[in-house]
A and B are shown apart, each in its own frame.
Chain A
Amino acid sequence: MNRRMMQLAIAALGSLAVLAGTAHAEDVLIRNARVHTLSERGTLERADVLVRDGRIAQVGTGLTAGSGATVVDARGRALTPGLFGGITGLGVEEIELEPSTVDRSKAYGDGGHEGFAPRPEFDVTLAFNPDSVAIGVNRIEGVTFAMVAPTSDGSLFAGQGEIARLDGRADAFLPASRTLFLELGAGATAGTGNSRAAQFMLLEQATREANPAQPLRDGDLRLLTPTGREVLGHYLGRGRIAFSVERAADIRQVLAWSERNRVRPVIVGGAQAWQVAPLLAKARVPVMLDPLVNLPGTFDKLGATMENAARLHKAGVPVTFTHFTAPTHDAHKVRQAAGVAVAHGLPFEAALAALTSAPAEIFGVGQVLGRIAPGYSADLVLWSGDPLEVTSVAEQVWIAGQPQSMRSRQTELRDRYRPQAALPNSQ
């Protein structure tokens, strides 16, 4: 396609966004797309997707829409579910080095009056700001949902997070995705006894405190607050706990603890996860990894390899991605990382699943998000080319059937400073 044609197409989509911005969900018919359904139907060429009341109504060929529906001709381009941005601070940190804009962790500082008392009840979603600039910048890259997660500031328990929809709505969170986050391994601090063994000791003690079958007696040393005990108790027996952990030996400990306490673990990081792939596969424990990690940044990451994702997938381990270097501002980089994983042996479909259906399933929202199938929320991205390619961009993003503005603070700056050499009238 020549540039002029592309610009016209984009301009058309832009005006579409304006038209549909106010009214409640109109029908949308996206025609003639290469639809990556992420369902058992696979990838459909020249297919149509009908969106009604914010949900996918039909996927097929020759679909028709009622009058008043918006019709978009995809001209054969790729349509995918909206992408998952990984474990991020979207909406809870604006600028990492400016504390007044960061709410991602409960500070423990040097211990303070509370010492390093773990606070699993810390719920980072309460600080969420749907108007964060970082959300808009990532949304126009096709990122429509992300885990908004706390980070630890010296405690074993970082706290709780949930998946947020990134369309600027106030009620952004999906409660089914609620997850408790723990950080284990080489990052052990004064607050966790400067030892992995102390981390597991503290975890064991907190577990005991949270177990109503083993009530504490007066005078027992208490690690958790009453609320903390209650919250941790909710996770024991049925809950989902994400463990930031890299080393194979530590992953084995996490698997053993999780089995004892009947917890559903998610391994975050897992640079050495490929070394325990059969164990992870057997326990159906998913791994959230950054495919770009291939250096021993710490001793815990010895053996890190670009093939981590491919090896885990081959062994049957559910895999999804997160970007560690700049997980909030560059959350979108999971898409590039997925492409790199493909270059290193991960099947394309598995990489796309790792950005869409896999994280939705891992975090309990797999019936709503991550697929293009009837009943699913119409969170969609129309791409200029191969959805994993660095030279492709999101042409249009929909969330719950609503076309999203494809502008951000960055596009405003771009247009203010566009050089003379750029063609006039271009997008």
Chain B
Amino acid sequence: MKRRFLIGLALVLPGLPGVADTVPYGSTYQARPGAPTLIRNAVVLDGTGRRLDDADVLMRDGKVVAVGPGLDATGASVVDARGRWVTPGLVDVHSHLGVYASPGVNAAQDGNEATDPVTAGVWAEHSVWPQDPGFQTALAGGVTTLQVLPGSANLVGGRGVTLRNVHSTTYQAMKFPGAPQGLKMACGENPKRVYGSHDRAPSTRMGNVAGYRQAFADAQDYRNQLDKYQDELAAYEKKKGKDKDAKPPVPPKRDLRLETLVAAMNGEVQVHIHCYRSDEMAVMLDLAKEFGFKVAAFHHGVEAYKLSDRLAAEGVCGALWADWWGFKMEAYDAIWENLAFVDAPKNGCAIVHSDSEEGIQRLNQEAAKSMVRGERAGLAIPPERAVRWITSNPARALGIADKVGTLEPGKIADVVVWNGNPFSVYALPDLVYVDGAVAYDRKAPSSLPRSDFLLGQPAGGAR
């Protein structure tokens, strides 16, 4: 248990150089709750797997208060949603908005620290440009929470950050309060291509695995040093009053790279692994077992369907596309039913992820594509089930399922009112609520925040 709290380093090791007594780079996010609002007479997909027809959603003080038929509207402004559908705000577990921003000029290539195969010490949040216009187009697609990850050039790419999708001049003011960071790792072709082409390790898949193992072995050693220091510190604290000659122990030099890996082993960051092939996912599950960490999700797992029972049994999510395939060899075996098949076993956890500034605008349509293919393959996937792929399941993988992803009392009131069934090519969010306040109203396009970058451009902005 000592290890558990050890890498809440900041509090435990006040003597370490450069460590503040609070979480560094902490969130300064301020919820700005709207007036109490009752959305009335909608088809509600609440994200838990339930569908309520002709139901109401009551929001107050930025939280969901109640969901059900005939709620009391006293003191609330009423939105008539008859004929419209309501879902939780969408959650994207895999975005590069801000780190590969638009426009994609040389100066904006901040997503891959491709200078070493293990860059566990870098944090994607330190690359996030809050003025990426892609945040706003994602908001118009109903996305209220997203994880921004480093790219996949490296075996260990660094830490990801979970953001609230609000316009701000700093990323700290977007940072989801209390959300754990992510750790991005990558299997397969990318790391071995990036480094192999420079005659460096890794240049093979076995080189990849040796790279992860050595990095985590180094982290184990680092953790032992931290444990030893902690023991010495405790002993010193005990005797320093009695023994004038007692000297405080010297803490080990901080190693940002190993700190992140220790945090993964301690379960303090959510591990997200870019991994296409099922055989490589199995290797990564063994790696996780060897070093005692938990995999939150395999991302881009185009072959996850080949391993769906094991993923479900081990509680690992598949963060997937509906139809991307063939752009490289490890993406050759994709099928449209991947999401549906990963979802099928008991405890299966399918997630639609974007990895794309275009795809993040239509997560609902990606879900729809695999939903219908799954149904045609013989699975029953009603909308109330598929909506979990873009709401509660990604929230689970991000470690924030207690805060967002469903419309249950007490949850943050991130809510989307759709112009109809969201599983349609014609579906558009009419209203997007963040913290119970209107963040986007399709009838009032000026409600959509506008990136500083787009101001004063004669050619106009994105919409």
Contact = CB atoms under 8 A, between A and B. Distances in A.
B17 interface: no
A225 interface: no
Interface string A379-400: 0000000001111110000000
Interface string B330-357: 0011111100010011000000000011
Contacts of A388: 425
Interface residue tally on B, bucketed by range: 35 or more
B426 A342 contact: yes
A304 B462 contact: yes
Interface in A90-128: 94-98
Nearest to B374: A422
Given A339-B426, A389-B425, A390-B372, A299 B327 contact: no
Interface in A152-189: none
Interface in B410-450: 423-428
A248 B459 contact: yes
Contacts of B371: 391
B305 interface: yes
Nearest to A330: B323
Contacts of B134: 295
Interface stretch (B120-128, B208-216, B376-384): B376-384
Interface residues of A, number: 60
A23 interface: no
A419 B379 contact: yes
Interface stretch (B147-155, B232-240, B361-369): B361-369
A245 interface: no
Nearest to A295: B102
A386 to B, nearest CB: 8
Interface stretch (A11-19, A280-288, A409-417): A409-417
Contacts of B193: 97
A336 B309 CA distance: 31
A325 B341 CA distance: 25
A306 B448 CA distance: 15
B424 A389 contact: yes
B336 A390 contact: no
Contacts of A418: 341, 377-378
Contacts of B308: 417, 419
Contact of B335 (A6, A342, A391, A413): A413
Given A301-B103, A391-B371, A391-B372, 10 more contacts: A134-B326, A137-B326, A297-B104, A333-B323, A343-B426, A343-B427, A391-B424, A392-B372, A417-B305, A422-B378
Sorted from nearest, which 10 A-B pairs have the closest CB atoms?
A339-B425, A422-B378, A426-B378, A303-B460, A423-B378, A329-B326, A303-B459, A302-B459, A97-B328, A419-B344
Interface of B: 102-105, 133-134, 137, 189, 193, 305-306, 308-309, 323-329, 332-337, 341, 344-345, 356-358, 361-362, 365, 368-369, 371-373, 375-379, 423-428, 453-454, 457, 459-463
